[in-house]
Chain A
Amino acid sequence: MFKKVMSIVKTDLLCSKILVLMYFFMFGLGFSFLYGLIARFAQVSELSYSYNVWLQPAFLVGGITALTLPFGFLLTDKQIKAAEMVLTSGIKPFEYIFSKWINGVFCGIVIGYTYLIVYTLLTLPLYAQYGNISVWLYVLLIDIIFASLGVTLGVIFTKVNLLRKILLIIFLMVLPILLFVLLFFIKNTGIFFKFLSPILLVYSLLCFFLSVRNVEIKDFVV
């Protein structure tokens, strides 16, 4: 199973290498250089340098990557009928979807961590205290949450029946509210990660498992 899943992960990475590289250079390197250099050289108060503000993009860029990639992979595969070929080769639908999830988490981590590394390298001599290990864990957490939501969104979009459409509408309403809450609380990172992130993690994983529970090959067939 592992080999099959990883072969799909590898294929998706190869197929989306331009997009992933774009995310990497734009979000991972670009943003971190921008914010890192500002933090290092700009004449701003020390309070503003706290990772509450400057490390925020690490969560966001990782999250965006983790959300959009699996969602895009699922829809594209269905559209070009590649999913039909892959799923009738013996891989289970859950394994197939799981491979997309792994991809989202992996790319999210790479881009989120790139941001963190570059940012920390640029600002470490001044603000060593921000190289806190928890930040690295939270980036991972955010990526898991968003990859799970991305997969859920992808699965719901590929389904066609009425119940799924209703779920999609509900899901689309829940997600912006969640993002709003996230942005509101992220200003106080401590509260966000202590209370909201476990809730979001449970919610996203629940969404993920519910969406893949009864998934069928026909859901990926045009």
Chain B
Amino acid sequence: MNKHIDAINVDFTYDNKKLVLNNVSLSTYQGESVGLVGPNGAGKTTLVRVLLGILYPKNGNIQVFGYNPLNKKEREKIYGQMGYLPEGAQVYPQLTLKQYIELFKALHEVEDNSTIEELLDMFDLQDVFEKRLGTFSKGMKQKAKLLTILIHSPKLLIMDEPTDGLDIASKEETIEYMRKLKKKGTSMLIATHDPYLVESLCDRIIMINKGEIIFEGTTQQLQEVAQDEPCYVIELMEKVKKEKLEEILNNVDEPQKIIVEENSIKIWTDDENIAKNVYKKVVDEGLIVKNFDRYLPTFSQAYKNFLEGK
């Protein structure tokens, strides 16, 4: 797979005193979407700007499509193939959507209107095509901005909070469209606080805190890592009296933390065999098990737990 972004040992400082980015290395590959997550002030936007060559790092090497974004001539080759959505960018309120699109059409030298029409349909913006952007809601403005970074079918998308202000349906459609782009080979780097976007679109996440990468992997890996001790859950088909379940589990020898509810049993243990033993005991008692699996916290919980642990 082709590497689209390759950053190695990047340091950045605004004032030569405190490092805002400290030894950051990351890569994104063709057709891959990477979520950049972290608390406010962690350095996500700064990292994005450094990768784009807007800000100059103190140390480190950055390559985007094999070009150096810090070199002015090479940067032009990068910008022609990518779409960038800055966080909190505003639209020109006096322009109509049509005029706004025309500006970016000219800037990206787009001649063909088919992608634009597809995007207008997807974002449900056909009816407001001739209306002023100043009259748009926050979500509609966000759609307009997203549209302008997608009109030239970029190979790389760098987005800072792309789903900010979008309603659930629009978010779904946007994610679906981005999945299609991924299949076509577009790679994405998405700085976001939206757990839904991360879970449903990102192949991999990079967690950054105080300018350092503290985690890199899939969302599931984060969910696993964020648990102090592995937890297994046995879901029962029917509700069973809590007392009965407790009675069955009284005979389990190994000391472990077990939480019993009417239709589920959660077992915290490092040893998977212990959980399997409990499962066997429950089945032997004639109870019908709906599901037996490793229990993972939600992404949001895992994110919070992981940060607190750090």
Contacts and interface: CB of A to CB of B under 8 A. Distances in A.
Interface in A54-86: 80-82, 84-86
A89 B79 contact: yes
Interface in A91-121: 91-92
B54 interface: yes
* Interface range on chain B (Cβ under 8 Å from partner): 20 to 34
B106 A15 contact: no
B47 to A, nearest CB: 14
Contact of A84 (B86, B104, B108): B86
Contacts of B53: 217
Given A14-B95, A14-B99, A90-B79, A81 B89 contact: yes
Given A4-B106, A88-B84, A92-B76, A11 B92 contact: yes
B102 A7 contact: yes
B103 A11 contact: yes
B49 interface: yes
A165 interface: no
Interface string B77-96: 00110101110111110110
**Main SS class of interface, A:** helix
B95 A81 contact: no
Contact of A82 (B54, B89, B108): B89
B95 A218 contact: no
A8 interface: yes
Given A88-B52, A89-B107, A82 B90 contact: yes
A194 interface: no
B107 A90 contact: yes
Q: Which of B56, B85, B107 has the most CB of A within 10 A?
A: B107
A81 B49 CA distance: 13
Contacts of B104: 89
Contacts of A88: 52, 54, 79, 82, 84, 86
A85 B89 contact: yes
Contacts of B107: 4, 7-8, 86, 89-91
A213 interface: no
Given A82-B89, A89-B108, A15 B55 contact: no
Interface of A: 3-4, 6-8, 10-11, 14-18, 80-82, 84-86, 88-92, 216-218, 221
Interface of B: 49, 52-56, 72, 76, 79-80, 82, 84-86, 88-92, 94-95, 99, 102-104, 106-109, 145, 148-149
Given A17-B94, A91-B107, 6 more contacts: A4-B109, A15-B92, A15-B95, A86-B107, A218-B56, A221-B49
